Structure 1
Amino acid sequence: MRLLLRWLVNGLMLLLVAYLFPSISLTGPFSALFTALLLGLVNALIRPVLLVLTLPITVLTLGLFTLVINGLLFWFVSALVPGFHVAGFWSAFWGALVYSILSWAASALIVERDR
């Protein structure tokens, strides 16, 4: 139940990010839910591999390269989902940053209420 609730919250936060950034667009709530699901899968499966492969540059940049990886994965998911469009890398970078902050805050509120 908690996983389903987080998925719905992430979909809503994705709609909010699309509302805040004109260079990020979603065609509707179902594409937001599908995008949130795919973002979760990509972050669970591909992101750890990329983090290990780019460990030297991540250490060299004191962890800031992780933000670039997040932006690239956000942009990658926009290429896979037909109803989700990101205009370019910088839009993906800032969109991924705001999306992660909003979804983290909303998930923290849900978990606190659930306990």
Structure 2
Amino acid sequence: MTLLLRLLINGVAIWLASVWVGGIEIHGPADPATTTDKLIVIAVITVIFTIVNALVKPLVKLLSLPLVVLTLGLFLLVVNALMLWLTSKITEHTDYQLHVNGFWAAIWGAIIITLVNWVLGILVPDED
């Protein structure tokens, strides 16, 4: 149940980033997309983003540990932006696409996704 709530929170965060940041766009296979089509596209992108965060992000965080320490943790925003950009590159090869146009769009998107995950994550209890 917690996994589904976390996926839902990630989906909301990605959707808000695409709405608020001009360089982030979500495209699906249907041109005049209905609400159901948009939800399916966001769900697929969210699953891909979660898999990227689960598999690639720990390795990148470990390799960038000296930069994270040197910048007092601010480099983690760049790591999050890279995960968003990598998700964009992976989804370019599917019908459910997330486009991130440029470095600053990825940074702003990462900030929004991080803040939304933090705020909504407070509401979801951990199993600890």
TM-score, structure 2 normalization: 0.78
Give the number of aligned pairs: 112
Q: Is the CA contact (8 Å cut-off) linking 1:23 and 1:91 kept in structure 2?
A: yes
TM-superposition CA deviations, 1:26-75 (whole Å, max 9, x none)? 12222211221122121122111111111222222222111111111111
User: Following the alignment from structure 1 to structure 2, what is the Cα–Cα distance between the partners of residues 99 and 44?
Assistant: 16
The counterpart of 2:106, out of the listed 92, 96, 99, is 92
Matched with 2:82 is 72
Tell me which of the two structures has the higher relative contact order, counting C-alpha pairs closer than 8 angstroms and 6 or more residues apart. Answer: 2
Moved more, 76-85 or 7-16: 7-16
CA displacement 1:59-96 (0-9 Å, x = unmatched):
22222111111111111111111311011111001101
Give 1:6 shift: 2.1
Structure 1 segments, 4+ long, off by >3 Å, are none
- Name the aligned partner's letter for residue 9 of structure 1: I
- Matched-pair identity in %: 38
CA distance in 2, matches of 1:104, 1:35: 19
Structure 1 unmatched ranges of 5 or more = none
1-structure distance, mates of 2:73, 2:107: 15
Does the alignment pair 1:49 with 2:49?
no
More helix by share: 1
Give the secondary-structure state (helix, strand or coil) at the position aligned to 1:26. strand
Contact 1:31 1:81 in 2 (8 A): no
Q: TM-score, normalised by structure 1?
A: 0.86
Shift of 1:109: 1.9
Gapped regions of structure 2 (runs ≥ 5): 28-37
The two structures, once aligned, show a CA RMSD in angstroms of 1.7
